[in-house]
């Protein structure tokens, strides 16, 4: 098995993040610095990240977590007031599949399945993520039409994909994205001379936040879990 896939299969991170760890020299294979393209013998090889020995997971776990405002999606950050590792507690190590910025709240999927993380983070897969967004002033029909058709984000030098935008109130809209650019919704709203006051993610693919409250955790099981894997194009 390719090394980056093995790291993902151990639930440590996605394949893309595994490639970055290998490039940074953080991964060893049988005591030697690993290189991109290395392969792992599942019966005899030992893979470490730092001092941690990686082992393939026995059971794939997916958890829905309501991330509160103020929590930064990182394990360690000296500048963060509160990190994800401090606020999210679970008996086994899980990694987020698609982050939320510190000032946003809502549904965060946590898992030890690297293939699921990889599928959900690939922009080309166009997986849906739904948000409820409150802005500082009423959006005009013209503003909503602009957002729906895609706007150019000057800071990122990219035009956003067409998306679903539905008015829910004078200053509240629902936005469904199929891509995950950095601070995408906040940047999009800024292009129509408005500002996000509150942003909550309420759905990722087939999984909805429902009646969960900030800080709550719900492990996905049964049909809900099967539906997620099917939507992600994977089999459990």
Q: 19, 45, 101, 103: which one is catalytic?
A: 101
Per the DSSP assignment, residues forming a β-bridge with 62 are: 111
Residue 101 is a catalytic residue: yes
Cβ-Cβ contacts under 8 Å for 54 (sequence gap 6 or more): 6, 7, 10, 12, 47, 48
Report the alpha-carbon distance of residue 26 to residue 22 in Å, rounded: 6
Q: Is 209 left (phi over 0), alpha (psi -120 to 50) or beta?
A: alpha
Please give the positions annotated as active site: 101
């Amino acid at each position: 098995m390719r090394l980056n896939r093995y790291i993902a299969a151990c639930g440590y991170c996605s394949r893309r993040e595994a490639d970055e760890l290998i490039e940074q020299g953080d991964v060893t294979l049988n005591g030697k610095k690993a290189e991109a393209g290395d392969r792992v013998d599942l019966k005899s090889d030992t893979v470490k990240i730092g001092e941690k020995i990686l082992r393939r997971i026995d059971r794939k776990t997916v958890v829905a977590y309501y991330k509160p405002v103020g929590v930064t999606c990182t394990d360690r950050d000296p500048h963060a007031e509160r990190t994800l590792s401090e606020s999210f507690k679970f008996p086994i190590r899980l990694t987020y599949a698609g982050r939320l910025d510190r000032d946003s709240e809502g549904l965060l999927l946590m898992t030890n399945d690297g293939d699921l993380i990889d599928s959900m983070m690939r922009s080309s897969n166009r997986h849906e993520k739904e948000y409820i967004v409150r802005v500082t002033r009423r959006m005009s029909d013209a503003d909503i039409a602009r957002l729906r058709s895609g706007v150019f984000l000057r800071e990122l030098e990219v035009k956003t994909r067409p998306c679903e935008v539905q008015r829910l109130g004078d200053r509240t809209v629902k936005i469904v994205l199929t891509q995950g650019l950095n601070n995408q919704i906040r940047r999009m709203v800024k292009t129509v001379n408005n500002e996000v006051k509150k942003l909550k993610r309420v759905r990722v693919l087939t999984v909805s936040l429902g009646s969960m409250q900030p800080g709550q955790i719900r492990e996905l099981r049964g049909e809900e879990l099967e539906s997620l894997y099917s939507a992600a194009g994977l089999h459990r």
